[in-house]
């Protein structure tokens, strides 16, 4: 059990580590040869060029201006200087709203910390529950005397914890309400002011039923000409081009070699483009390569909104429509997965995730062994001479457990992302949101519950063996707050030193210079060597939510955790604001569509904190006061239902009123815009575009004809034509079931 001195040693080590990281970053970012590593966003925007220093050769690599080193922390106020509207224009709404999660942490926990330290810490510290309980088998330390465990059973002091719990709940809900309202307003304002994008007019249609007489492209066209005759504009079928994508990826690696060694490549017997061209022709000509899915574009946003948010046929499993992701957000490989197999895939991954979560308890138990010096003494007495050294003891208890747990989690995000890809989600944003939800659940079970329950059982093993079963809840209830010292060490390792290491970007720095030295031959290579990365919602947001969970749970139990969490939120806000301004290049823009998930997880953390407090008071035999806590989860759930109904529709549906207003404004300001030409190839698979890179103009024209999706009149092959006014290739006559005035030219105007 970590003592105050152990926590002090851990704090000193982590503060020193963070300071070293910041100093190293301050020095490295000033060097000219690192400029593309620490400011790649400005290079990608074309607003920054390589620094030019005249004079000595060494100035091209090293900054010799000593005055610049005196201001080594000036990047912090600079990161806070850019106003939020300008930051939205610079980095997008997703990035700005992501930063607001850290601000919410500060808004919630700073007032809570003041109240907890003013009320609960004196109440806990002036009690003598741990000393007088007589449980010698319960390991504790000085820091635990500030927790609720130090309050006597049946004490009237528990009313202070109950009243403060009400205050914490109401304050947290108030902040969540204001933030949900603010973010929803920001999203609607962002969508209203956003420039024209293909996804605003396009719907992804999946599970298109097969037709023996028509191709998928003809079937899609006929369906939407009949059911959306006034709004349908064009479409693009989805191809299974995964094999072609691999060839294009291979070609991309060889492209600069072809440029650099052009004469040598031209003397080879076969250029890489030949294989690509053959595979491209196979994909475009083979009906089996066409998936029962298509991107359908409309003349107006209003028309797209109607289609995306309504059921298309009486069979709710066919012609499924949803808003199309923006082209750069699409994960093309998964669009080739048959829709009917998605349910099976997700069931398989649910089972796999269950076993992954369950078996991770084993290293958790090992970590808990490291977290307890007393446990090590009992099981490895030969290590006593080494453990008795004060610094070694403080290092083991205050620093090593957090590092060990952090190491176990290194490969977890990659594993969870692979699982999400296997499930078949069709966009990068949905992949990241699914991986984030799995990561959050994993953290909740293994890091939170696992460390509490596994550690408690490990430390209190003798107690469990030698005491009656009816005393188990009392021992567990007393021991849960005692795990606060472990979480404090974890917060310092992950939330202090870990965040400081983020700004250093050691891995991208090394990789860039290795690529620059060994692989870069052209300016294009140099641009591709930069690895700006992104905010990483699938890893960053679950980490934040773990701190919300720890803060809300321990606010009423062990308030000493709160200052460490506040430092995390403040430091992370500054660091990630700097990274978003100068480094990260977001892969997509969802308009903060992830916010309902953020809100829901904070609500879950709040409910868990209330249940934990009820459980603790029950073990403390506070029968008269515990029932007053039951109303808190009920009120919290009601609050969530209210917010879900009031604000969530703005994140999952697009109001027709907003769509019509934007369409009307656009027609008034730009009446001659050729929307059809703008959307024509917006959703063509990128490999088709890449495979045309070195083809001559004639080949490009041939390919464009093959991929043509223009909405010309396509006669149907069906024997039964009751659902279309178009002429049949067989009879050449129109459907007698439709009046003559319904027969018109369905070639939409641009």
pLDDT in tens, 534-590: 888 999 999 999 999 999 999 999 999 999 999 999 999 999 999 999 999 988 899
Q: Are residues 134 and 33 in the same domain?
A: yes
In the Cβ-directed half-sphere of 514, how many Cα atoms lie within 13 Å?
7
Tell me what pLDDT residue 340 has: 83
* Residue 724 pLDDT greater than 90, yes or no: no
Tell me what pLDDT residue 712 has: 43
Burial class (CB in 10 A: 0-12, 13-18, 19+), 74: exposed
**Please, what is the Cα angle at 302 between 301 and 304, to 5 degrees?**
65
Q: Which domain holds residue 404?
A: 4-194+341-659
* Residue 731 pLDDT greater than 80, yes or no: no
Q: State the pLDDT confidence band at 718, using cuts at 50, 70 and 90.
A: low
Q: What percent of the chain has pLDDT over 70?
A: 77
Tell me what pLDDT residue 716 has: 53
Q: Are residues 90 and 8 in the same domain?
A: yes
Tell me what pLDDT residue 87 has: 94
Order of strands, sheet of 290-298, starting from the edge strand that comes earlier in the sequence:
232-239, 290-298, 202-206, 320-323
If one counts the domains in the chain, the total is 2
pLDDT digits (tens, 9 = 90+) for 9-45: 888 888 999 999 999 998 899 888 888 999 999 988 8
Q: What is the spatial distance between Cα 295 and Cα 277, in angstroms, rounded to a whole number?
A: 24
- Asked if residue 99 lies in contact with residue 576, where contact means CB atoms within 8 angstroms, the answer is yes
Asked which of 258, 292, 325 is the last residue of a domain, the reply is 325
Q: Is 206 helix (H, G, I), strand (E, B) or coil?
A: strand
Q: Are residues 238 and 135 in the same domain?
A: no
Least confident among 464-468, 583-587, 700-704: 700-704
Tell me what pLDDT residue 565 has: 96
CA 405 to mean position of chain CA atoms: 21
* Residue 141 pLDDT greater than 70, yes or no: no
The angle that helices 4-28 and 484-491 make with each other, rounded to 10 degrees, is 10
Output the average pLDDT for the chain: 81
Q: Are residues 176 and 133 in the same domain?
A: yes
Ramachandran region, residue 621 (left: φ > 0; alpha: ψ -120 to 50; beta: rest): left
pLDDT digits (tens, 9 = 90+) for 591-649: 999 999 999 999 999 999 998 888 888 877 776 777 888 999 999 999 999 999 999 99
Q: Is 237 helix (H, G, I), strand (E, B) or coil?
A: strand
Q: Which carries the bigger pLDDT value, residue 544 or residue 129? A: 544
Return all residues near 241 (Cβ < 8 A) that are at least 6 apart.
283, 289, 332, 336, 685, 687, 688
Q: What is the spatial distance between Cα 584 and Cα 579, in angstroms, rounded to a whole number?
A: 6
Neighbours of 120 (CB within 10 A): 24
Q: What percent of the chain has pLDDT over 90?
A: 43
* Residue 136 pLDDT greater than 80, yes or no: no
Q: What is the DSSP letter of 710?
A: B
Going along 247-353, which residue ranges are E strands? 290-298, 320-323
Q: State the pLDDT confidence band at 737, using cuts at 50, 70 and 90.
A: very low
Q: Are residues 216 and 175 in the same domain?
A: no
Query: Which whole number is the average pLDDT over 316-329?
Result: 92
Asked which of 659, 693, 728 is the last residue of a domain, the reply is 659
Residue 268 within a domain: yes
Q: Are residues 155 and 225 in the same domain?
A: no
Tell me what pLDDT residue 55 has: 52
* Residue 54 pLDDT greater than 70, yes or no: no
Give buried/exposed letters for 715-747 (b at 16+ CB in 10 A, else e): bbebeebeebbbbbeeeeebbeebeeeeeeebe
Q: Are residues 294 and 314 in the same domain?
A: yes
Dihedral angle sign, alpha carbons of residues 327, 333, 338, 342:
negative
Return all residues near 734 (Cβ < 8 A) that are at least 6 apart.
721, 725, 726, 727, 743
Q: What is the DSSP letter of 560?
A: G
Query: Which whole number is the average pLDDT over 201-206?
Result: 94
Ramachandran region, residue 295 (left: φ > 0; alpha: ψ -120 to 50; beta: rest): beta
Closest listed residue to residue 291, CA positions, set 675, 725, 683:
683
Q: What are phi and psi of 436, to 5 degrees?
A: -65, -40
Q: What is the spatial distance between Cα 184 and Cα 645, in angstroms, rounded to a whole number?
A: 12
Q: State the pLDDT confidence band at 294, using cuts at 50, 70 and 90.
A: very high
Residue 685 within a domain: no
Q: What is the DSSP letter of 738?
A: S
Q: What are phi and psi of 434, to 5 degrees?
A: -65, -45
Give buried/exposed letters for 29-53 (b at 16+ CB in 10 A, else e): bbeebbbbbbbbbbbeeeeeeeeee
Residue 615 within a domain: yes
Return all residues near 278 (Cβ < 8 A) that are at least 6 apart.
none
Q: Is 202 helix (H, G, I), strand (E, B) or coil?
A: strand
Return all residues near 299 (Cβ < 8 A) that are at least 6 apart.
201, 230, 231, 232, 233, 675, 748
- Asked if residue 373 lies in contact with residue 390, where contact means CB atoms within 8 angstroms, the answer is no
Q: State the pLDDT confidence band at 290, using cuts at 50, 70 and 90.
A: confident
Least confident among 123-127, 180-184, 205-209: 123-127
* Residue 346 pLDDT greater than 60, yes or no: yes
Place of tokens 């701190």: 547
Least confident among 228-232, 288-292, 745-749: 745-749
Return all residues near 93 (Cβ < 8 A) that are at least 6 apart.
186, 187, 190, 589, 591, 592
The angle that helices 472-479 and 595-619 make with each other, rounded to 10 degrees, is 130
* Residue 370 pLDDT greater than 80, yes or no: no
Least confident among 136-150, 318-332, 515-529, 606-620: 136-150
Query: Which whole number is the average pLDDT over 134-158?
Result: 72
Q: What is the spatial distance between Cα 422 and Cα 522, in angstroms, rounded to a whole number?
A: 36
Tell me what pLDDT residue 739 has: 36
Residue 463 within a domain: yes
Q: Are residues 590 and 467 in the same domain?
A: yes
Does the model's pTM come out above 0.75?
yes
Residue 260 within a domain: yes
Residue 437 within a domain: yes
Residue 456 within a domain: yes
* Residue 342 pLDDT greater than 70, yes or no: yes
Q: Are residues 533 and 623 in the same domain?
A: yes
Tell me what pLDDT residue 709 has: 41
Q: Are residues 163 and 129 in the same domain?
A: yes
Q: What is the spatial distance between Cα 75 and Cα 503, in angstroms, rounded to a whole number?
A: 11
Q: State the pLDDT confidence band at 513, using cuts at 50, 70 and 90.
A: confident
Q: State the pLDDT confidence band at 117, using cuts at 50, 70 and 90.
A: very high
Q: Which carries the bigger pLDDT value, residue 169 or residue 145? A: 169
Which of the given ranges, 252-261, 413-422, 467-476, 477-486, has the highest pLDDT on average? 413-422
Q: What are phi and psi of 583, to 5 degrees?
A: -120, -65
Q: How far is CA 584 from CA 40, 427, 435, in A?
A: 8, 19, 20
Q: What is the spatial distance between Cα 220 and Cα 216, in angstroms, rounded to a whole number?
A: 6
The angle that helices 537-555 and 562-582 make with each other, rounded to 10 degrees, is 160
Q: What is the spatial distance between Cα 512 and Cα 526, in angstroms, rounded to a whole number?
A: 9
Strands 202-206, 320-323: pairing is antiparallel
Q: State the pLDDT confidence band at 481, using cuts at 50, 70 and 90.
A: confident
Q: Are residues 207 and 120 in the same domain?
A: no
Least confident among 233-237, 254-258, 308-312, 388-392: 254-258
Asked which of 602, 627, 659 is the last residue of a domain, the reply is 659
Residue 665 within a domain: no
Q: Are residues 277 and 345 in the same domain?
A: no
- Asked if residue 691 lies in contact with residue 277, where contact means CB atoms within 8 angstroms, the answer is yes
């Amino acid at each position: 059990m970590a003592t105050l001195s152990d926590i002090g040693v851990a704090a000193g080590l982590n503060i020193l580590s963070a300071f070293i990281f910041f100093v190293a970053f301050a020095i490295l970012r000033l060097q000219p040869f690192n400029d593309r590593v620490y400011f790649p966003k400005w290079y990608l925007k074309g607003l920054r060029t390589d620094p030019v220093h005249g004079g000595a050769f060494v100035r091209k690599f090293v900054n010799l201006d000593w005055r610049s080193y005196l201001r080594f922390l000036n990047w912090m106020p600079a990161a806070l200087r850019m106003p939020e509207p300008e930051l939205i224009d610079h980095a997008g709404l997703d990035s700005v709203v992501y930063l607001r999660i850290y601000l919410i942490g500060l808004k919630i926990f700073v007032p809570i910390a003041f109240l907890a330290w003013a009320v609960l810490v004196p109440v806990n510290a002036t009690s003598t529950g741990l000393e007088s309980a007589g449980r010698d088998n319960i390991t504790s330390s000085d820091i635990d005397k500030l927790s609720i465990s130090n309050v006597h059973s049946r004490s009237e002091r528990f009313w202070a914890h109950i009243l403060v719990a009400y205050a914490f709940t109401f304050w947290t809900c108030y902040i969540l309400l204001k933030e949900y309202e603010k973010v929803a307003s920001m999203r609607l304002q962002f969508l209203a002011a956003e420039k024209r994008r293909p996804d605003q007019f396009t719907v992804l249609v999946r599970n298109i039923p097969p037709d023996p007489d028509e191709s998928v492209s003809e079937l899609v066209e006929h369906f939407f000409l009949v059911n959306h005759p006034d709004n349908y504009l064009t479409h693009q079928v989805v191809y299974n081009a995964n094999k072609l994508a691999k060839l294009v990826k291979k070609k991309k690696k060889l492209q600069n070699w072809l440029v650099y060694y052009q004469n040598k490549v031209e003397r080879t017997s076969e250029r890489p483009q030949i294989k690509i061209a053959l595979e491209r022709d196979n994909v475009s000509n083979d009906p089996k390569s066409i998936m029962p899915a298509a991107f359908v574009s409309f003349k107006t946003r209003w028309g797209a909104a109607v289609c995306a948010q309504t059921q298309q046929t009486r069979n709710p499993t066919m012609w499924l429509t949803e808003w199309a992701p923006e082209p750069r957000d699409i994960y093309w490989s998964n669009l080739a997965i048959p829709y009917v197999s998605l349910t099976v895939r997700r069931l398989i991954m649910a089972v796999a995730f269950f076993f992954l979560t369950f078996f991770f308890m084993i290293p958790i138990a090992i970590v808990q062994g490291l977290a307890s010096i007393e446990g090590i003494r009992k099981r490895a007495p030969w290590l006593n001479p080494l453990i008795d050294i004060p610094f070694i003891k403080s290092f083991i208890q205050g620093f090593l457990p957090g590092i060990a747990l952090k190491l176990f989690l290194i490969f977890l995000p990659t594993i969870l992302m692979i699982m999400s890809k296997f499930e078949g989600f069709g966009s990068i944003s949905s992949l990241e949101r699914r991986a984030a939800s799995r990561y959050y659940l994993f953290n909740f079970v293994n890091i939170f519950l696992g460390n509490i329950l596994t550690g408690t059982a490990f430390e209190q093993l003798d107690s469990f063996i030698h005491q009656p079963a009816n005393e188990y809840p009392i021992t567990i209830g007393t021991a849960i707050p005692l795990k606060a010292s472990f979480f404090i060490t974890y917060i310092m390792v992950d939330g202090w030193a870990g965040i400081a290491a983020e700004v250093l970007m050691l891995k991208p720095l090394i990789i860039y210079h290795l690529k620059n030295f060994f692989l870069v031959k052209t300016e294009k290579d140099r641009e591709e060597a930069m690895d700006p990365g992104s905010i990483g919602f699938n890893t960053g947001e679950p980490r934040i939510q773990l701190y919300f969970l720890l803060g809300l749970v321990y606010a009423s139990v062990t308030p000493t955790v709160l200052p460490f969490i506040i430092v995390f939120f403040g430091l992370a806000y500054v660091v990630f604001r700097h990274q978003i301004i100068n480094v990260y290049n977001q892969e997509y823009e969802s308009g903060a569509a992830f916010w309902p998930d953020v809100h829901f997880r904070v609500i879950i953390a709040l409910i868990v904190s209330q249940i934990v407090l009820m459980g603790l008071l029950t073990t403390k035999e506070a029968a008269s006061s515990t029932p007053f806590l039951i109303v808190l989860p009920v009120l919290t759930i009601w609050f969530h239902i209210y917010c879900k109904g009031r604000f969530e529709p703005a994140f999952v549906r697009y109001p027709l009123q907003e769509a019509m207003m934007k369409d009307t404004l656009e027609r008034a300001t730009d009446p001659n815009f050729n929307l059809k030409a703008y959307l024509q190839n917006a959703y063509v698979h990128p490999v088709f575009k890449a495979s045309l890179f070195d083809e001559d103009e004639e080949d490009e024209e041939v390919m464009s004809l093959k991929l043509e999706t223009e909405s010309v009149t396509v006669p149907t092959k069906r024997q039964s034509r009751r659902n279309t006014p178009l002429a049949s290739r067989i009879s050449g006559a129109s459907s007698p079931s439709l009046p003559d005035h319904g027969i018109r030219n369905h070639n939409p105007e641009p």
